[in-house]
A and B are shown apart, each in its own frame.
Chain A
Amino acid sequence: MIVPPFLQSGDTIAVVCPSGFMPREKAQTCIETLQQWGYTVRIGATLDSQSENYFSGTNEERLADLQQALDDPAVNAVLCGRGGYGLSRIIDAIDFTTFRKKPKWIIGYSDVTVLHAHLFTRYTTASLHSPMAGAFNDGGAVTEGVLSLRRALAGEPSAYTCAIHPFNRRGKASAPLVGGNLSILAHLVGTPSDIDTHGKLLFLEDVGEYLYNLDRMLRQLKRSGKLAHLAGLIIGGFTDLKDTTRPFGATAEAIVSDVVSEYDYPVCFGFPVSHSPDNVALKMGVTHTLIVSDEPTLLIE
């Protein structure tokens, strides 16, 4: 696994929006905070772009901005301003030649799961699943999630705990950490960006999904062989879940437990990775140890 160099004071972080549109003011606190942390911030053309539709620019514009950030030798890390939808439309057109010679941390989550998975699978390169620019707003800059991003960028190994959950399945495993947004991981099945989860610690989170669709996506992962040989499973937040008029009849935790009931690897629930302030930085591709026991769950890099 190629682990990009951690950042030094004065290093440059590029902020780009490869997916949905983001106005400048929504990223302002993030930019200022990164500067306070001692970094130089370079703002890409896709932040606060002229786009008038859903995307932060045309496919060509978003690709060019991301490509420039990946290729620019003066840029040490690339922070995606926000997710939304759009990376699937440009991922196959990105040229990673220069990036491979000078790997750098790619930062984000949600739709950015496309990039993380692609980097892991195609280029065995670690990346940072973490809060994005919006998380810095409204006092967010001092939350555990954003502070964990700061520590991760500086190269501090992470050690996270989360409360015992009644659905947890005990066990201990050390393996590379992979995962991200469940909808995106299902969307990548069968594509060149698809993740081989064999022997890995898989983490999942999602937002705004119907319970039945959560069930369907988990079954797609299972039926495509992605859950059978995990080292462990880390369930983050499934926030803003929706239910059908007629209730589905099972909670997200019960759905997950049912789908993985035939396996025996450790499973933890309620891990702080989600579309909410409970969202810590996780180094995709880097080996972690998961300990699920009668004590609070531990995930140690």
Chain B
Amino acid sequence: MNRKNFLSSLLTIGVAGPVLATPDPTRTHVTIPSPATDPLPLLVPPFLRYGDTIGITCPAGDITAKEIQPAVDLIESWGFRIKIGDTIGKKDFIFGGTDEERAADLQRMLRDPELSAILCARGGYGAVHIVDSLDFSPLKAKPKWIIGFSDITVFLSHLHTNLNLASIHSKMCNSFPDDWSKAEPVQADAILSIREALTGGKMEYTVPLHPQNRAGYAKGPLVGGNLKTIISLVGTRSDIDTEGKILFVEDTGEYLYSIDRMFWHLQRTGKLDRLAGLIVGGFKVKPDDPGEEYGHSVYDIVAERVKPYSFPVCFDFPVGHQKNNFALRVGMPHTLEVKPDSVQFFSV
């Protein structure tokens, strides 16, 4: 009997299974039995308290100190201290410093005992240049929340696969409004959801109905992020196993044919076969070139690809390169319930 069969047989007789993660009252991180196929126990960093320190670093694209200031001010107003990494303000073409500089800054933060969380200032491109050179083992002894999305999907996926570390998929410094008082309500709510995710608050999501949703109930760890990035990790040591999990995807700037090709890639690598559920966030599609009109929407593309399966599917989830990009606790167990008249998604 192989490991997967063994575990699934345990699950069916109720011996093992996902255990609910709860905000940790003891201030030591939670280690709970792992869900389904993952051999590593789920590492949930301690939720943040007043006075805790968050590091800000630039592991991918570059950003200036001025550009992160609104985020610094707001996060400090929440009662957290900020430690700014030396990649803020650095620039090596599109990167926030050379590979060595970006790796060194993030590595310092991974080791820094004062930090409870590390916020990536922005995405862009560059995480994959340094991920293999980083030593993430300090997170085993002292887990920290790693925060970001888009290109940062590299780290969220890598940490899920290699450490089973929970992390936060959310907006980053470059999405904080210059003037908080003038922020649109949805933008403010999305940013405040980062605080909720960090402090162990109850995560609430308002998911619109879509006629192509597929009803059903799913329970499992949440994995996912930027689709193009997830695809670029296939076959690498940062690749995610999606079995028994709820997968969420979003993307920006991709052609429709490319989105279709990526969903085929997911399918052909078996990533849809044993999925618990699929959450489709925002897709900002690159317009077709003239004469190359693709003729199918993202909804159609997804609906077609998931036809052979029966897991629940919801569309237009508030995650993506958009204002309504709400924080998600990656790696943590969630439930997704899609009904004809409602979509419920909870961190359990």
Contacts and interface: CB of A to CB of B under 8 A. Distances in A.
Given A88-B261, A212-B125, A220-B234, A191 B93 contact: no
Contacts of A190: 234-235, 239, 265, 268-269
A248 B236 contact: no
Given A54-B295, A220-B235, A220-B236, A191 B261 contact: no
A247 to B, nearest CB: 6
A248 B237 contact: no
A189 B128 contact: no
A249 B92 contact: yes
Contacts of A53: 293-296
B65 interface: no
B80 interface: no
Given A88-B268, A246-B94, A186 B261 contact: no
Dominant SS at the B interface?
A: loop
Interface in B251-275: 257, 260-261, 264-265, 268-269
Given A190-B234, A190-B269, A248 B132 contact: no
A85 B237 contact: no
A217 interface: yes
B264 A89 contact: yes
A93 to B, nearest CB: 12
Contacts of B239: 190
B232 A216 contact: yes
Nearest to B269: A190
Contacts of B128: 216, 219-220, 223
B235 A223 contact: yes
Contacts of B268: 88, 92, 190-193
**For chain A, which range describes its interface: under 10, 10 to 19, 20 to 34, or 35 or more residues?**
20 to 34
Nearest to B256: A54
A239 B91 CA distance: 28
Contacts of A220: 128, 232-236
A289 to B, nearest CB: 29
A224 interface: yes
Interface string B221-257: 0000000000111111111000000000000000001
Contacts of B296: 53
Contact of A187 (B94, B265, B293, B294): B265
A230 to B, nearest CB: 16
A191 to B, nearest CB: 4
A244 interface: yes
A224 B237 CA distance: 8
Given A54-B292, A220-B232, A223-B238, A85 B129 contact: no
A262 to B, nearest CB: 12
Given A187-B265, A223-B132, A216 B234 contact: no
A223 B235 CA distance: 7
A115 B265 CA distance: 15
Contacts of A193: 268
A186 B269 CA distance: 12
A249 B265 contact: no
Contacts of B237: 223
Nearest to A92: B268
B232 A217 contact: yes
A185 to B, nearest CB: 11
10 contacts: A53-B294, A53-B295, A89-B260, A92-B268, A187-B261, A191-B265, A223-B236, A246-B94, A248-B93, A249-B93
Given A88-B265, A212-B125, A217-B232, 4 more contacts: A20-B292, A85-B261, A190-B268, A219-B128
